[in-house]
Amino acid sequence: MAPRARIEKTNWKPGNVLSPVPAVLVSCGGTKEWKPNLITIAWTGSICSEPPMLSISVRPERYSYNIIQATGEFAVNVPSLRQAKATDWCGMVSGRNVDKFNNTGLTPAPAMKVQCPIVLECPLNIECRVQ
C-alpha cells in the first residue's frame, strides 16, 4: 500500500461554513405593543419534519429579538430575486429607528395562524411560534 500524502488543513474561526442558505426576511410584531418589523436573517434551517420546526438565530442586541421573545411569534418570509435589495437593506438598518415595511415598499399582510404580519410580496411565508 502506498503511503498517504499529508493533507494540509486550515483552522478557521467558528462561523457559517456549511452550504449557503438563503437570507430570509423575518417579520414580527404587529401587535398593540409592537409595531410590525422586519429583520434579515441568514442563519436559519430545518430542525424537524414531524412536527415541522425550523430555527432562526437572532442576536439578543437586535430590536426583533425582544419582539419575538415577548410575542412568541414570527414569520419566515423567503424573498424572490425582486426582494433582494429590500432584504439587504433590512439587514443594515434597525427597526428601532425606521419603519422597514414603509421604507422598502413591502406590504405587511395578515397571517393565517399568528398575529404578526407576513410579507405579501414574498412567494413563501412560514408562520412560526417559538418552542
Domain extent for 65: 24-129
117: which residues sit within 8 A by CB, 6+ positions away?
Answer: 27, 29, 30, 36, 75, 101, 108, 109, 110, 111
CATH number at residue 84: 2.30.110.10
Residue 11 included in any domain: no
Share of the chain above pLDDT 90, in %: 77
Residue 1 included in any domain: no
Residue 4 included in any domain: no
Residue 17 included in any domain: no
For position 19, what pLDDT does the model report? 60
For position 125, what pLDDT does the model report? 96
**Number of domains composing the chain:** 1
User: Which of the residues in the chain have pLDDT under 50?
Assistant: none
pLDDT, tens only, 66-103:
999 999 999 999 999 999 999 999 999 999 999 999 99
Residue 19 included in any domain: no
For position 118, what pLDDT does the model report? 98
Distance CA 104, CA 2 (A): 61
30: alpha, beta or left, given left = phi > 0 and alpha = psi -120 to 50? left
